[in-house]
């Protein structure tokens, strides 16, 4: 099996993804053959090469012969927008390959959940407008068939840009990214690309949400093949999605093979030379309250030989913006740096031991059900030491012995 990396240079949409996978080598005849077994409108898929700002990319176009006939007779009828329940049933009742079913269902379930939350309705009763149009159904299931054709096991992706502005949708003018798109992108790292227009669609965001195993830089992988899928619009930059077929390297095996505990986090930093100790202490408290995984200060020398402090914050992808806001509000910095790192974490469990000084929680760290180390919780030990007037270390060692026994 192979691995895929979606390099979202200019966002992502269903047609861009399918076109990029076809350019990568997915069998179009297989995709069309499988799609035509479904109870959907008659269609034709046309794929041709276009040039997007100097990059040759595949462009996808879906035709519906019935639309052409109706248009020539003076009364074109738009395709009926289907509910999530109907689409999910269509996939579940099909003879599509097992993994194609699972991936297609996962994408539509994610989009339905987002649409349902935005509109305040049961996800199964959501009637799609954009993502429920017949071409989007074909694109989404087509993407999953293309992944099967390429024998893709795991999917990774870069941070994704969204664009900005407004777009006319079924309910009126909506902001870009559309509310459903923004809901789907929660917890997914967003890339900076200041472009007016919709770069990432709900379908594209649904693909990322449902199928991507990890968002990370491309480093550490060997690229076998490259495919480009073109978007509809033209911008000042190449409006393409780049799909990379990866060969696992020793580095990749080290993070994906025996170790399934690696995750992506942001490291946020700022250097300060005009903050009091009290201000730094308060900032640390606010950062932890905002969800930071860890915060630490490092003495540094700055310009003009001024002693200063480097503030380093480790934070999950979804809470990075909150921690950046704290740094900008509570410190004197004029800007912060953000970079994505990966970290390997142990499984953590808590037990509680009964000591003569009360209950003490003990944190234990495991890998493959083998405990590597443990430590009593500071706050529990400190509280017991104060309440009973005994040394901190006495209670700490007592709790450690009980936890070990």
Tell me which of 339 and 274 has the higher pLDDT.
274
Intra-chain end-to-end CA distance of the chain, in Å: 46
Residues 144, 281, single domain; the answer is no
Query: Do 281 and 233 share a structural domain?
Result: no
Which of these three, 238, 256, 274, is where a domain ends? 256
pLDDT above 60 for 395: yes
User: Does 195 lie in the same domain as 316?
Assistant: no
pTM: 0.63
Query: Where do the H-state alpha helices sit in 39-165?
Result: 65-72, 84-92, 98-119, 134-149
Q: Quick check: 78 pLDDT over 60?
A: no
Q: Are residues 25 and 171 in the same domain?
A: yes
Percent of the chain that is helix, strand, coil (3-state, to 5): 40, 30, 30
Q: Do 213 and 105 fall into the same domain?
A: yes
User: Are both 8 and 116 inside the same structural domain?
Assistant: yes
Out of 79-88, 125-134, 208-217, pick the least confident: 125-134
Q: Exposed e or buried b for every residue in 271-280, given b needs 16+ CB within 10 A?
A: bbeebeeeeb
Q: What is the CATH number of the domain that holds 293?
A: 3.30.70.1380
In the structure, what pLDDT confidence band is assigned to residue 33 with cuts at 50, 70 and 90? Answer: very high
3-state secondary structure of 349: strand
* CATH assignment of the domain containing 364: 3.10.20.300
Model pLDDT, residue 128: 64
Is the same domain home to 115 and 157?
Answer: yes
Give the domain range for residue 274.
262-344
């Amino acid at each position: 099996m192979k691995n895929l990396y979606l390099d979202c240079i200019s966002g992502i949409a269903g047609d861009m993804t399918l076109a990029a996978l076809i350019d990568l080598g997915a069998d179009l005849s297989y995709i069309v053959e499988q799609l035509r077994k479904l109870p959907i409108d008659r269609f034709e898929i046309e794929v041709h090469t276009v040039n997007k700002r100097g990059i040759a990319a595949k462009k996808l176009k879906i035709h519906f012969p019935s639309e052409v006939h109706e248009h020539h007779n003076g009364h074109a009828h738009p395709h009926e927008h289907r509910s999530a329940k109907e689409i999910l049933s269509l996939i579940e009742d099909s003879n599509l390959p097992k993994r194609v079913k699972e991936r297609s269902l996962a994408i539509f379930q994610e989009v339905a959940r987002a649409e349902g939350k935005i509109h305040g309705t049961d996800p199964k009763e959501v009637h799609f407008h954009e993502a429920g149009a017949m071409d989007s159904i074909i694109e989404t299931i087509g993407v999953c068939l293309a992944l099967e054709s390429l024998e893709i096991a795991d999917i990774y992706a870069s941070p994704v840009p969204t664009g900005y502005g407004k777009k006319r949708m079924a309910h009126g003018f909506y902001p870009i990214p559309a509310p459903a798109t923004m809901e789907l992108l929660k917890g997914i790292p967003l890339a900076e690309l200041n472009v007016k227009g919709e770069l990432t669609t709900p379908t594209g965001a649904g693909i990322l949400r449902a199928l991507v195993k990890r968002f990370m830089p491309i480093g550490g992988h060997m690229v076998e093949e490259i495919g480009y899928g073109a978007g509809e619009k033209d911008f000042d930059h190449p409006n393409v999605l780049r799909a990379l077929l990866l060969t696992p390297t020793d580095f990749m095996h080290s993070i994906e093979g025996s170790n399934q505990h690696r995750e992506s986090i942001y490291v946020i930093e700022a250097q300060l030379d005009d903050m009091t100790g009290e201000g730094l202490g308060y900032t640390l408290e606010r950062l932890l309250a905002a969800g930071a995984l860890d915060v630490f200060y490092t003495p540094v020398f700055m310009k003009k030989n001024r002693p200063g402090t480097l503030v380093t914050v480790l934070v999950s992808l979804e809470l990075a913006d909150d921690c950046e806001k704290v740094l900008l509000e509570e410190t004197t910095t004029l800007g912060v740096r953000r970079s994505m790192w990966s970290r390997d974490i142990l499984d953590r469990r808590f037990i509680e031991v009964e000591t003569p000084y009360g209950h003490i929680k003990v944190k234990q760290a495991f890998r493959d059900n083998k405990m590597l180390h443990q430590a009593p919780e500071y706050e529990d030990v400190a509280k017991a030491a104060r309440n009973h007037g005994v040394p901190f270390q006495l209670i700490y060692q007592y709790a450690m012995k009980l936890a070990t026994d």
